[in-house]
Structure formats: C-alpha cells, structure tokens
Structure 1
C-alpha cells in the first residue's frame, strides 16, 4: 500500500479498518459518524479554550456570561434558569458565579418581583467581554470550516441538526436523560 491509497483517510478510517479486520461480523458504521463527531470536538476544543482564555475566561465561565448576554436585555436570569440552560448542577453554577462576580462580570441582585429571590445580572464589562469573546470564537471556528464550501456546510449542519433533534426527543436513543 502506498501513501496515495489512503490520502483522504482520517483517524476514524484507520480505526475502522483495524476493527473490520479483528471483528469482520460487526457493523462499525456508527463509529464512522459518532467517532468523527467526537474526534472533531477533541480537535477544536483547544483552540476554543485558548480563545476564551485570551479574554480571561474558561469555557464554563464563558457559558454563563454568554447565556446571560444572549438572553437579551436586561441580561438577567434566575440561577435556576441559568443552570437549566447550561445543563449543570446548581453547585457547579455557584462556583462559576463566585469567580465571575469577583471578576466584576456579573452581580447578584434581589428580584424585583420576589425580594427573597436573587437574579444573576451581567455587568457592562461582562456584556462587553461576552460579546468580544463570542465574536473571536466565531472567527476562529469559521477557519475550521474553510475546507467546506457553503453548500457542504449547510448540508452538514442540516444532517447534524436532524440527528441531534431526534436524540433530544428520544432519551432512550441517547442513553438516558440529559
């Protein structure tokens, strides 16, 4: 076999070939899709994390201020709305909120409708940082997609949307709640 025989192959192709040799009776098609999604995530994660780090944030902190920023004015949510949207525990959210409050990116305010409740509000600095970090992240992520033309990007997005929407509707197919 020469290098040209598998010029367009990726790591998943190589793994699939090995499994096909070892377990020829097993259909490894799921790996060709989900393995690639997992591999893609692992390949782009360091760049995404570096982008957010350039704004003094980790991914989890960006997720909080990004969620607040995209919620629209007045950029306030209850802690329950935040941790539900972020799909994390209330304890995980609390640690993030402490760090973000110390950094001056959020503040906790009494709810105008219920004085016993608190709201998490984005500060002006938090809103500016969330927007700047998201703009930089989108520019970085766009570079990853340069190898696909607009039609290919649209087709890929559509197929992924269809797959994810089906999994979100059917907890049994995705392995449980979440």
Structure 2
C-alpha cells in the first residue's frame, strides 16, 4: 500500500476490505478501482472539448473514423459500425444527427445499391480536425502528471488489452 502522503480514495476502500477480509489478495482491486476512477474523472473533461465543437463523444468518434480513413474520407455504415464496435442501429442515429448538422453526407453505393456510403463533408473535415487538435492537447495535459511513466503505462495497458481481447 502507498504511504499515507500518497493515499487516495481507493486506498480507503482497499484498506476497509483488508480489515474485513484479510485473506483476500486485493492488489488487482486497487488497480481496477483506480482505472475506473481515472475514466470517471477524465470523461467530463474530454467531453467538454467535443461539446465546444458541437459534438458528443460518439459523433466525434464517427467523424474521426472517417477522417483517419484517408481520402476520400468515405466508409460504408458496416465499416463504421465494425471500427467503432457498435450496432448498426446505433450508427444510424449518429449518422442522422451528423448529416442534419452538415458534417457527413450519405449517398447510394454505386457498387452495391442496397447500401450507401458515408462521406465527411468539408465542414465535417474542419470540425473534426479542430476537435482532434484540441482533444490531443487536452489528453496530453490530463496525463502530464505521469511524465516519463506514460510510456510504461502505455506498454502495460497494451499488454493487458492484448490478453483481454
């Protein structure tokens, strides 16, 4: 356990469980609790950046997927759904909102008339680039307390995700 000067709310929870169930190995509980708490604390700060650009996080995710697909910044809905790991129904509602805002266009797929293509508009390109620039700076600032440990955390989380996925 950390010394008391570095104690956090998770230490209090783990400490209480150690008192009540001293036979349990609670090391992983502390790590999982801290990961969850980091997500809980940073999510509003991340979402605030997207909101400044008129976006919700899910809408940003769609625009970002189109933007990083490269020219002509076009994908079919099933590709977007697979990339973002979401249902096609959920994708349809996001695309409806983005199309209404003039950030994407939908057109019939000339190769498969049962489907359509989603393309980033010029305005969508500008919005996602501006949001991504600010998002990158925001996340770097949020994680700056880690300093050189950022690379260690990245490698550790990559290993964990590889095992879980």
Look up the match of 1:167.
Answer: 164
Deviation of 1:33 after TM superposition, in Å, equals 1.6
1:26 corresponds to which of 24, 27, 42: 24
Q: Tell me the SS of whatever aligns to 1:25.
A: coil
**Partner Cα distance (2:115, 2:92) in 1:** 15
2:51 corresponds to which of 33, 41, 53: 53
2:141 corresponds to which of 136, 140, 143: 143
**Partner Cα distance (1:70, 1:11) in 2:** 39
Structure 1 gap segments, 5+ residues each: 169-178
Look up the match of 1:122.
Answer: 120
1:155 corresponds to which of 135, 152, 160: 152
Deviation of 1:94 after TM superposition, in Å, equals 0.8
Q: Tell me the SS of whatever aligns to 2:47.
A: helix
Deviation of 1:125 after TM superposition, in Å, equals 0.7
**Partner Cα distance (2:110, 2:12) in 1:** 59
User: Given the two structures, how large is their TM-score scaled by the length of structure 2?
Assistant: 0.94
Look up the match of 2:65.
Answer: 67
Structure 2 gap segments, 5+ residues each: none
Structure 1 moving runs of 4+ over 6 Å: none
**Partner Cα distance (2:139, 2:58) in 1:** 18
Deviation of 1:116 after TM superposition, in Å, equals 3.0
Look up the match of 1:8.
Answer: 6
Number of equivalenced pairs: 163
- Is residue 2:50 matched to residue 1:77? no
**Partner Cα distance (2:15, 2:114) in 1:** 60
Q: Tell me the SS of whatever aligns to 1:57.
A: coil
Look up the match of 1:90.
Answer: 88
